[in-house]
Structure 1
Amino acid sequence: MPSSPEEAATEHPEITYIGCARCGTLIAGLDGRYACSGCGWVNEWTEGHRPLPEARHRRG
């Protein structure tokens, strides 16, 4: 498991699969974050397998 958000952002996301909690359709997601195209169910973003990368601010 990465020790910092920077390390998490540099790793490749993992494709994961589960059965939809609402309708049972097999769905794929990235790092444990899912959205079902069949019924519209989505899991809470905090349920992912690792932290989301932080936004990088551009100087403009």
Structure 2
Amino acid sequence: MPSSPDEAATEHPEITFIGCSRCGTLIAGLDGRYACSGCGWVNEWTEGHRPLPEARRRRT
């Protein structure tokens, strides 16, 4: 388990699978975030397995 948010942002995402809660289609997602191509169901982004990486400023 990462010890800081910066560590979590540098790890590779994990491909996870679930049955769609609306139509039952097996769908794949990244770190517990899913969108079903069969019926359009999408889970809440906060239900993911770890925090999303934060945006970083571009150097100018």
TM range (shorter): over 0.9
1:5-55: per-residue Cα shift (whole Å, max 9, x none)? 110111111000000011000000000000000111000000000000000
CA distance, structure 2, for counterparts of residue 49 and residue 57 of structure 1: 25
Instruction: Give the unaligned 5+ runs of structure 2.
Output: none
Runs of at least 4 residues off by over 2 Å:
none
TM-score, with structure 1 as normaliser? 0.93
Percent of aligned pairs sharing the same letter:
92
Instruction: Give the unaligned 5+ runs of structure 1.
Output: none
* Bigger relative contact order, structure 1 or 2 (CA pairs below 8 A, ≥6 apart): 1
Report how many aligned residue pairs link the two structures. Answer: 60
